[in-house]
Amino acid sequence: MTHLQSGPAVLDFGTAGASARREHQRLNDAHRARRRRVRASAGFVGLLVPAVMPVAMPGLLTGSLALAAAAASWWAQDRWFVRRYGTEAGVSWRIGAEGEEATAELLVPLRRQGWFWLHDRAVPPRRFNLDHLGIPPSGDRLVAVETKVWPRSHTVRLDRCGRLVCERFDRRGEARLQEKDVEAFIGETDALLPHLPPGALSVSRFLVVHGAHVAGGRFTLARRSPQLGQDVTIEVVEAAQLAAALVVHAGGEANPGAARRTAEWASARFPRR
């Protein structure tokens, strides 16, 4: 693969979940600032209570009443704020970041087998990110891994129409359709294709599920790729089986030089978010 030899000397592996962590931090900082403003305004209003009392009182009693009213107003408004908006904003971003970090931990043993893993990658000029981008020991493909964190009380399977669903174990009639996640993942991985040198690399797609049980541990679904104009496959894998599934999928003869060159090229072409 001489056409991939122009990569940088130092690989930028990125940090799993970094962009999700930043978004959670941004939302949560704004949430906490708003909560402080609500509490401050409530306390100030409480301090004004003695001023509107119809009966004059001694100064010490007035001061005590003002402090008590401010504290009560502060507490009441804070409880109202928490009931309405919660104690944390951007929870889904935090959960997503934790899921990506957990996936990265599962991938660590593969690095000792010659895999390269790049985390939280941008695909210029698009705005989304790919959770994990792997290069197997053969160096002949890119492996995109998307992390999903779904409820532990649920199972992931295909319904009778071949659609991806996530449902409670005890309520098989109340399945939550996950086809939007599949369509989004196809779009994200399709965006890689125009960047690839013709005929040099292929793209494999894995969707790893944390929390929920995957029927059979893993299964394959096929969806049409608008970029390729044909069906492609997505391996849906339970988190505990991800590493084994990737080892089986890697195939090919190990070529450390080719794997390194592909990783360097991918690191430069798809920078960290």
Query: For 11-63, what is the HEC assignment?
Result: CCCCCCCHHHHHHHHHHHHHHHHHHHHHHHHHHHHHHCHHHHCCCCCCHHHHH
How many residues are present in the chain?
Answer: 273
Q: Which residues pair with 118 in a beta bridge?
A: 133
| Structural contact between residues 185 and 205, judged by C-beta atoms closer than 8 angstroms | yes
Q: Helices then strands (H, E): number in the chain? A: 6, 8
For residue 108, give both structure tokens: 């660590």
Q: What CA–CA distance (Å, rounded) separates 141 from 162?
A: 27
What's the pLDDT at 2? Answer: 44
| Structural contact between residues 209 and 148, judged by C-beta atoms closer than 8 angstroms | yes
Q: Do the strands 202-214 and 141-158 form a parallel or antiparallel pair, or are they unpaired?
A: parallel
Phi, psi of 107, rounded to the nearest 5 degrees: -85, -15
CA quadruple 202, 134, 260, 125: dihedral sign: positive
What's the pLDDT at 142? Answer: 96
| Structural contact between residues 151 and 132, judged by C-beta atoms closer than 8 angstroms | no
What's the pLDDT at 57? Answer: 46
What's the pLDDT at 218? Answer: 96
Question: Which residue in 203, 207, 201 sits closest to 219, CA to CA?
Answer: 207
Q: Do the strands 116-122 and 164-168 form a parallel or antiparallel pair, or are they unpaired?
A: unpaired
225: three-class secondary structure by DSSP: strand
Q: What CA–CA distance (Å, rounded) separates 174 from 189?
A: 30
pLDDT in tens, the chain (273 residues): 445 655 445 789 999 999 999 999 999 899 888 888 877 776 655 555 555 445 444 555 555 665 676 677 767 777 887 888 888 888 999 999 999 999 999 999 999 999 999 999 999 888 889 999 999 999 999 999 999 999 998 999 999 899 999 998 766 556 789 999 999 999 999 999 999 988 778 999 999 999 999 999 999 999 999 999 999 999 999 999 999 999 988 877 899 999 999 999 999 999 998
Q: What is the DSSP letter of 195?
A: G
Phi, psi of 259, rounded to the nearest 5 degrees: -65, -40
DSSP string, 233-258: EEEEEEGGGHHHHHHHHH-S---HHH
- Global pTM reads 0.84
CB neighbours of residue 119 within 10 Å:
26
